[in-house]
Amino acid sequence: MSPERQLKEQIETPMVWLRYACAIDVMQAKLRLINADLTERKNRQVIRNMSARIKSPDSIVKKLIRKGREATFRAAADTLNDIAGIRVVCYFSDDIYQVAEMIRKQKDIRVLKEKDYIKHPKKSGYQSLHLIVGVPVAYLEETEEIRVEIQIRSFAMDYWAELDTQMCYKKDAGKMENVGLEIKTYSDLIAGVDGQMLELRRKIDNM
Ligand code: 0O2
């Protein structure tokens, strides 16, 4: 059996798949509580929407190959941080850091890694705050820490990223220099408007 086929079978074993699903459920429940708490304190919705996925076996294999790793389940479980992923879209860019701060305060969750692509956007123009967290999944006597990647971004950052994914990210068009420059320019423009909307909200808040 090819390693790819083996990886697919292993990740789709119910006890493996359900552990990732369980970690996502636990983290999403916490994020709903965080949203309710912040919404009450600020008197406005903070999280616009949330989505989650378990990375498909095909996508896992492609990522392992891209990273020069063996296409095996062990390599995926050991080296990939985003087999389980949650995307949190906030209305405003300052909300992102508040949500992240609340995640850091959760006693039973370990923040293992942070990547701030807002303060340091990617060359493509991609912006988001990524937190890799360890979520304990307990079953009978065993507790396993499952890594979950949480991408937190504003509505405007999400708009750019969704369109970039459709047109450029991992696509041939994205490798063309003129296209790359243009999409980066739009990221800067959108970030500018995002900042202005935040300023307007702050003005209104202080009125
Ligand atoms: P998909 O299909 O979204 O799952 P790490 O192993 O933690 O050190 P990793 O995961 O290799 O780091 O890289 P990174 O850059 O921290 O995060 C990668 C994820 O961010 C991607 O996942 C995308 O979801 C998103 N991303 C990164 N750069 C871009 C970009 O230029 N455009 C868009 N639209 N999204 C981006 P995957 O696995 O590549 O894809």
Q: Which of 121, 109, 122, 114 is nearest to 97 (CA)?
A: 114
Question: pLDDT for 150-190, tens place per residue?
Answer: 999 999 999 999 999 999 999 999 999 999 999 999 999 99
Q: Best substitution site from 126, 147, 171, 183 to test ligand 1's pocket, by max atoms within 8 Å of Cβ?
A: 126
| Domain assignment of residue 32, yes or no | yes
| Domain assignment of residue 194, yes or no | no
| Domain assignment of residue 171, yes or no | no
The CA R_g of the chain, rounded to the nearest whole Å, is 19
| Domain assignment of residue 181, yes or no | no
Per-residue pLDDT band for 149 (boundaries 50, 70, 90) equals very high
- What pLDDT was estimated at residue 2? 81
Spatial contact of 96 and 154, defined as CB atoms under 8 Å apart: yes
Q: Is 19 left (phi over 0), alpha (psi -120 to 50) or beta?
A: alpha
Domain of 36: which CATH number?
3.30.460.10
| Number of separate domains in the chain | 1
What is the model's pTM? Answer: 0.96
pLDDT score of 3 more than 80: no
How many whole angstroms from 142 Cα to the centroid of ligand 1?
A: 31
Q: Which residues sit with their C-beta closer than 6 Å to ligand 1?
A: 55, 59, 63, 81-82, 115, 122, 124, 126, 130, 132, 161, 164-165, 169
How many whole angstroms from 156 Cα to the centroid of ligand 1?
A: 18
Domain that holds residue 54: 3-157
